[in-house]
């Protein structure tokens, strides 16, 4: 979906664009969104989140839905970046597998593009705790929606 | 999983037990958990949640992960109730379909038991906005875990 005519922003420029954004969505703020790395060639992004005490289930671990929310952000942004920053992802469905309990604190998610189609995008990723243990994996199907207000790099 | 030897609490008694609980999980508090109804014979529960501005994505709608979190609570409690309040549900995986955008405010989820096995429980449900429109549906697979501290009714 990217137009080859205009020069592509570098990975680092895109990271800074996300980090310096003044319009960070409320959901991202709530989840402690912190974009760490982007690799446009390999179509992945890496984002840190912070699981707070407000997200804990009765066993003191992160309620799975909040891991879904973090993964949704990582997968969606992987698709947005892979589109050349011309489209946002409207998630149609997400399947999340809860491999291990996550303690509150810093969690790092990686989102990847499985297939970038014109009308449908397939995404996948996982989220790890500070020991590198995978707590949850996800796959998602999304609809790319043109982002009219996007400014070219 | 319930033991027929002891008398079962009525649906209304169970609703009150949830509503009066002093140990409400933090995740439930964050999601504005408000248990509305339980039907033990039909194995479903109905729970209202409140989507706050803190859960909104860039389009001003509820980020899908928070709908996953609400559905996770509704499905898990449907399983817990169906077990005779002897087991909590450890969700292994959840697939959520996002049928329509959800605005902030009150949302009502219904969780149902598809199959209550001894080692695996299959769950399903949906979440509706104040107009009754289904915003998301979910299916989940869960592991029933005996709740040692459970007090019989």
Q: Do B68 and A63 touch (CB under 8 A)?
A: no
- Is the pLDDT assigned to residue B4 strictly greater than 60? no
B94 → closest Cβ in A26, A30, A96: A96
- Is the pLDDT assigned to residue A15 strictly greater than 60? yes
**What CA–CA distance (Å, rounded) separates A27 from B69?**
13
- Is the pLDDT assigned to residue B2 strictly greater than 60? no
Q: Do B98 and A88 touch (CB under 8 A)?
A: no
pLDDT at B50: 98
Write out chain B residues lying below 8 Å of A29, CB-based. Answer: 54
Could you tell me if B93 lies within 8 Å of chain A, comparing CB atoms? yes
Q: Do A63 and B72 touch (CB under 8 A)?
A: yes
pLDDT at B58: 87
- Is the pLDDT assigned to residue A35 strictly greater than 80? yes
Tell me the DSSP string of A112-142.
EEEEE-SS-EEEEEEEE-TT--EEEEEEEEE
pLDDT at B5: 60
pLDDT at B23: 84
Residue A9's region, left for phi above 0, alpha for psi from -120 to 50, else beta, is beta
Could you tell me if B120 lies within 8 Å of chain A, comparing CB atoms? no
Could you tell me if A65 lies within 8 Å of chain B, comparing CB atoms? yes
**What CA–CA distance (Å, rounded) separates B53 from B37?**
26
B14-71 per-position pLDDT tens digit:
999 999 998 889 999 999 999 999 999 999 999 999 999 999 998 899 999 999 999 9
CA distances (Å), origin A138, targets A68, A131, B21, B29, B106: 8, 19, 33, 25, 27
pLDDT at B37: 98
- Nearest C-alpha neighbor of B117 from the set B150, B137, B92, B95: B92
Q: Please report the sign of the dihedral spanned by the C-alpha atoms of residue A10, residue A15, residue B63, residue B68.
A: positive
- Is the pLDDT assigned to residue A1 strictly greater than 60? no
pLDDT at A150: 46
B91 → closest Cβ in A56, A64, A73: A64
pTM of the model: 0.92
- Residue-averaged pLDDT of chain A: 93
Instruction: Tokens for B14, please give them.
Output: 């169970």
Write out chain A residues lying below 8 Å of B91, CB-based. Answer: 64, 98
Q: CB-based contacts of B147: which residues, under 8 Å, 6+ apart?
A: B80, B85, B86, B87, B88
Write out chain B residues lying below 8 Å of A146, CB-based. Answer: none
B92 → closest Cβ in A27, A55, A97: A97
Could you tell me if A71 lies within 8 Å of chain B, comparing CB atoms? yes
Arithmetic mean of pLDDT, B91-101: 98
Q: pLDDT tier at A153 (50, 70, 90 boundaries)?
A: very low
pLDDT at B150: 45
Could you tell me if A88 lies within 8 Å of chain B, comparing CB atoms? yes
pLDDT exceeding 90 applies to what percent of chain A?
86
Could you tell me if A23 lies within 8 Å of chain B, comparing CB atoms? yes
Q: pLDDT tier at B149 (50, 70, 90 boundaries)?
A: low
Could you tell me if B66 lies within 8 Å of chain A, comparing CB atoms? yes
Helix axes of B64-82 and A64-82: crossing angle, nearest 10 degrees: 150
B106-136 per-position pLDDT tens digit:
999 999 999 999 999 999 999 999 999 999 9
Write out chain A residues lying below 8 Å of B146, CB-based. Answer: none
Write out chain A residues lying below 8 Å of B74, CB-based. Answer: none
Q: pLDDT tier at B3 (50, 70, 90 boundaries)?
A: low
Could you tell me if B92 lies within 8 Å of chain A, comparing CB atoms? yes
Q: pLDDT tier at B153 (50, 70, 90 boundaries)?
A: very low
A75-112 per-position pLDDT tens digit:
999 999 999 999 999 999 999 999 999 999 999 999 99
A56-65 per-position pLDDT tens digit:
998 899 999 9
Contact (Cβ atoms closer than 8 angstroms) between residue B30 and residue B49: no
Instruction: Tokens for A93, please give them.
Output: 């469905």
Contact (Cβ atoms closer than 8 angstroms) between residue A65 and residue A57: no
Strand arrangement, sheet containing B105-116? A34-39, A44-51, A105-116, A121-128, A134-146, A87-98, B87-98, B134-146, B121-128, B105-116, B44-51, B34-39
């Amino acid at each position: 979906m990217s137009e080859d005519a205009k020069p592509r922003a570098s990975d680092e420029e895109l990271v800074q664009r996300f980090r310096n954004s003044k319009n960070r969505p409320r959901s991202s703020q709530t989840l402690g969104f912190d974009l760490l790395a982007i690799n446009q060639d390999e179509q992945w992004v890496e984002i840190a989140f912070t699981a707070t005490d407000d997200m804990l289930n009765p066993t003191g671990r992160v309620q799975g839905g909040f891991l879904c929310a973090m993964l949704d952000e990582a997968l969606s942004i992987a698709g947005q970046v892979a589109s050349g920053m011309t489209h946002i992802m409207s998630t149609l469905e997400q399947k999340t597998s809860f491999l291990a309990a996550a303690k509150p604190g810093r969690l790092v998610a990686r989102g990847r593009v499985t297939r970038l189609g014109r009308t449908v995008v397939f995404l996948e990723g996982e989220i790890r705790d500070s020991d590198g243990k995978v707590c949850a994996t996800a796959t998602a199907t999304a609809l790319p929606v043109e982002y009219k207000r996007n400014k070219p790099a």
